Amino acid sequence: MAPLTSVCGMEIDTGNTAWLLVSAALVMLMTPALGFFYAGLVGRKNALSTIVHSFFILCLVSVQFVLWGYTLAFGPDHGGLIGGLDWLGLTGVGLVPNPDYAPGVPHQAYMVFQMMFAVITPALITGAFAERISFRAFVVFVLLWSTFVYAPIAHWVWGNGGWLRNLGVLDFAGGTVVHISSGVSALVAALVVGRRLVRAEPHNATMTVLGASLLWFGWFGFNAGSALTAGALATSAFVVTNTAAAMGALTWLTVSWLHRGQPSALGASLGAVAGLVAITPASGFVNVTAAILIGLGAGVACYLATLLRPLLRVDDALDVWAVHGIGGTWGALATGVFATVAINSAGADGLLFGNPGQLLIQLVGVAATWCYAGIATAVILKAIQLTIGLRVHERDEVMGLDRSQHGEIAYGLD
Amino acid sequence: MDIAAFVAFAVLVLAWLALPMRAAGVELMGEEQQAA
């Protein structure tokens, strides 16, 4: 049994607390890793600005979340839609555990774990408008999106009293909250911001493979950490996460080999991320063979979705919608198919275990997230477009955002 | 479900053995190519 301490008479499980804090650190690493993953996929004159997008969000949302993000997402419920302002500036969010969210660990440990999810979600969107958004517009967008899109959806799904949580939607680590919300918002952002003047080829595939590998590493905190306990459920989530990532990579590589004639290194990286995205909502509810099928489905579905980009004529520069929107949707629905209470008694059985109703519930969660994220993101971007503008000047876009927005360059020889 | 997982993996492995490799070689990527 883990050693116990206590705060104000409430017991702290030090083992669970240690795991949650380490998991928060693992998830933190994912945001700069995402910056490198994306930076390898853009042209060399936009590499630094792409990394800065992720790094800046880490800083910005870290402060936004303690000031008002956490209370809106997890504070006392108002109508199932949003948290109240009772915990503004972390008032009342101290070291005493909150039994509604994470019994036995300090409330601030749970808060900082959730903060890292709030950080990476808007960072995912930046891949859609890479190489053309102005830094000023980007900052305003992230603040508004984190407040008016991320916080409400997080409350619906994870907040105590949230309407999707009450409905029975299963989302272990963020298939709807993180991936569908960011993926759909990315598609809308690419539409509103418009196409790049010139579509650059990936300038550094090694950077992308390294970024994907670090994302994979951090994802163990993302999914296994979402068990909130250092025990059997975390172990199961860890194993299915690794399995689905591997299967996603193998599948995407194979499908792209079939389609283009060569096994692609970038394809393997994107496939791993697609597998990780898809297993995210399911990771605490499914067994290992289900993870293999979920990874397989992600590799096929997300690769096919990337082929739609030229047909849709939407310049989602780094395929955020294809990987996170479609991967997240597949994962959320697959949870309704493969979930079993044999893995998690607090979950539910899915279609294959005699409960087709769970698939319908998952469908409601997916539809609500698609609609709200899409509409709210469009409103936010239009408001920014009509006030301070979204894009850099054409001359600055040709020059590259590294030089035009930051006065710096990624490489000495430019 | 278990059988489906084994079959899926087997199909992938067989595909790697069977798929032809494009003979054109590696294409240059990035702006070096554009500059060229």
- Residue indicated by tokens 């995912």: A124
Q: How far apart are CA A251 and CA A395, in angstroms?
A: 41
Tokens of A301: 């579905």
Look up residue A64 and give its two tokens: 């936004």
Could you give phi then psi for residue A196, rounded to 5 degrees? -70, 155
> Which residues of A314-409 form beta strands (DSSP E)?
none
- Is the CB of residue A251 less than 8 Å away from at least one CB of chain B? yes
Judge whether A10 is closer than 8 Å to chain B, CB to CB: no
Q: Which residues of chain B neighbour A398 with C-beta distances below 8 Å?
A: none
A400 touches chain B (CB under 8 A): no
- A349-405 confidence digits (pLDDT tens): 999 999 999 999 999 999 999 999 999 999 999 999 999 999 999 999 999 999 999
**Nearest residue of A to residue B16 by CA position?**
A254
Give the amino acid at A367. A
The pLDDT tens digits of the residues spanning A26-40 come to 999 999 999 999 999
From A175, A202, A187, A166, select the one nearest A80 (Cα to Cα): A166
ipTM of the complex: 0.80
DSSP bridge pairs for A13: A4
pLDDT at residue number B36: 47
> How many Cβ contacts (< 8 angstroms) between chains A and B?
58
Q: Phi, psi at residue A120, to the nearest 5°?
A: -75, -25
Give this prediction's pTM.
Answer: 0.94
What is the pLDDT at residue A71? 98
CB-CB under 8 Å, B34 with A257: no
Token readout for A369 is 């997230």
pLDDT in tens, A79-122: 999 999 999 999 999 999 999 999 999 999 999 999 999 999 99
Within 10 A of A195 (CB to CB), how many other CB atoms are there?
14
Cα A18 to its chain centre, rounded Å, is: 23
Mind telling me how many Å the CA of A254 is from chain B's nearest CA? 7
